[in-house]
Amino acid sequence: MNIDPNLHQKQGVNHLNKVLGYAPLVEENGVAEVFLTAEDWGVVADTLFHMDTPREMVPASILEYVKREGEYVIDLTTENLKIEVKPI
């Protein structure tokens, strides 16, 4: 199935916005662990790391994003929070 990359990217950004909204609710000591379905996690990973998504498409509150080497974890940094995004 061919997916229009723009639609795929928009869905990834939509997931990131949901993560940003949910993370403060599960934050402990400045770190929030947020789980996505494996499919949704993959969409976010594609959007951030494999699709040349322009930085301006990524929510501005995300100051930095990194995929942990050898792990299925995306670390997001905001002004007040470290967010670990993991697949379930």
Annotated domain spans of the chain: 5-87
- Three-state secondary structure along 32-85? EEEEECHHHHHHHHHHHHHCCCCHHHCCCCCCEEEECCCCCCEEEECCCCEEEE
pTM, whole model, 2 decimals? 0.91
| Residues contacting 57, CB < 8 A, separation 6+ | 9, 13, 47
Q: pLDDT per position in the chain (88 positions), as tens?
A: 455 558 999 999 999 999 999 999 999 999 999 999 999 999 999 999 999 999 999 999 999 999 999 999 999 999 999 999 999 9
